[in-house]
Copies of this chain bind each other. A is one copy, B any other.
Amino acid sequence: MTTPIQNTPSTEPLPEVSDWWTTAISRIRPGEILLRGYPVEQLIGQASFPDMIWLMVRGDLPTRSQSQLLEAALVSSVDHGPQAPSIAASRMAATCGLGLNNVMATGVSLLGDTHGGAGQQCMQLLDDLIQQVGDDGDLDEAAEDIVATHRAQRRHIPGFGHRFHPHDPRRNPLLDLVADASTSGAVPGRALAAGTALERALAKGRSRPVPMNIDGATAIVYSELGFAPELGRGLFVLSRSVGILAHGWEEKSGGTRIKGPIPRRLLPSYNGPAPRDLQPEGTA
């Protein structure tokens, strides 16, 4: 009945299957795990977790200053409560009978262009601003131009403004750490200058300034450390995964089943068509 058909005639040359999956990250052989060249057994107990993140993503180990600055940024953005859709979605997932891996994947998947991508976009903007101005140009002037352009196009400047916090409590400690690292020569300090120039430009002529938010503050840290903008989102995912795990686990431990977004006796509003009957000819 069934005719097995071999699609790869044996006369074909050896396919380069291993090369299809080439990587510079790890070499796994029997009894051996090299990560970026280092034997894993040397890293365990020696490298910090932020060291490992840096090593895996960048290819080499960071200095102690770089690692500490990365660690501070990772610590800063672990959670912003169940009002964040990523946290709420993972809590709901936890009540639907999923393993914690799928609960966490649900929350992580929501950190998209809008929710988790603002940091990435801010890094890009800082980068553009720095490139445009060069090493000794006037950042304030260029920042004001950017703000004016965005305002004219009614576009939001990523990394600034918060629907919630008039002043984000995470801004100052992060920026202070960057300033210290800049003073000691551990980071260039140019992204810090660009970010605060944007903040000043946004505040100009307003009674209520537009505050730098966590996306802006971590964008400065990650830019100072030389991460590509897209990795800003990746690092945010690593950080927020901690809050997602904590909330998913709290919800799972609570034992609620199939939790909707609002209490059960509340119903969503309906603004669709009034009840109507199916016309037999309608579907045929």
Measured between alpha carbons, how far is A144 from B276 in the docked complex, in Å? Answer: 41
Measured between alpha carbons, how far is A245 from B241 in the docked complex, in Å? Answer: 12
Measured between alpha carbons, how far is A4 from B263 in the docked complex, in Å? Answer: 20
Known: A26-B80, A45-B75. 15 other contacts (CB 8 A): A5-B271, A6-B18, A10-B14, A17-B262, A21-B268, A23-B271, A24-B273, A25-B247, A28-B80, A33-B169, A41-B169, A48-B48, A88-B260, A93-B109, A104-B237
Measured between alpha carbons, how far is A112 from B166 in the docked complex, in Å? Answer: 36
Q: Which of B2, B8, B280 contacts A274 (CB 8 A)?
A: B2
Q: How many copies does the complex hold?
A: 4
- Cβ-defined contact, A165 with B97, below 8 A: no
With A241-B237, A283-B51 as known contacts, state yes or no: A18 contacts B267, CB within 8 Å.
Answer: yes
Q: Which of B46, B88, B165, B283 contacts A61 (CB 8 A)?
A: B283
Q: Which of B1, B52, B71, B168 contacts A48 (CB 8 A)?
A: B71
User: What B residues does A64 contact at CB under 8 A?
Assistant: 283-284
Measured between alpha carbons, how far is A227 from B220 in the docked complex, in Å? Answer: 35
Measured between alpha carbons, how far is A269 from B27 in the docked complex, in Å? Answer: 8
Cβ-based interface call for A177 (8 A): yes
- Cβ-defined contact, B99 with A92, below 8 A: no
Closest residue of chain B to A259 (Cβ to Cβ) is B85
- Cβ-defined contact, A15 with B67, below 8 A: no
Interface digits, A220-253 against B, CB 8 Å rule (1 contact, 0 not)? 0000000000110110011001110111111010
A17 shortest CB reach to chain B, Å: 5
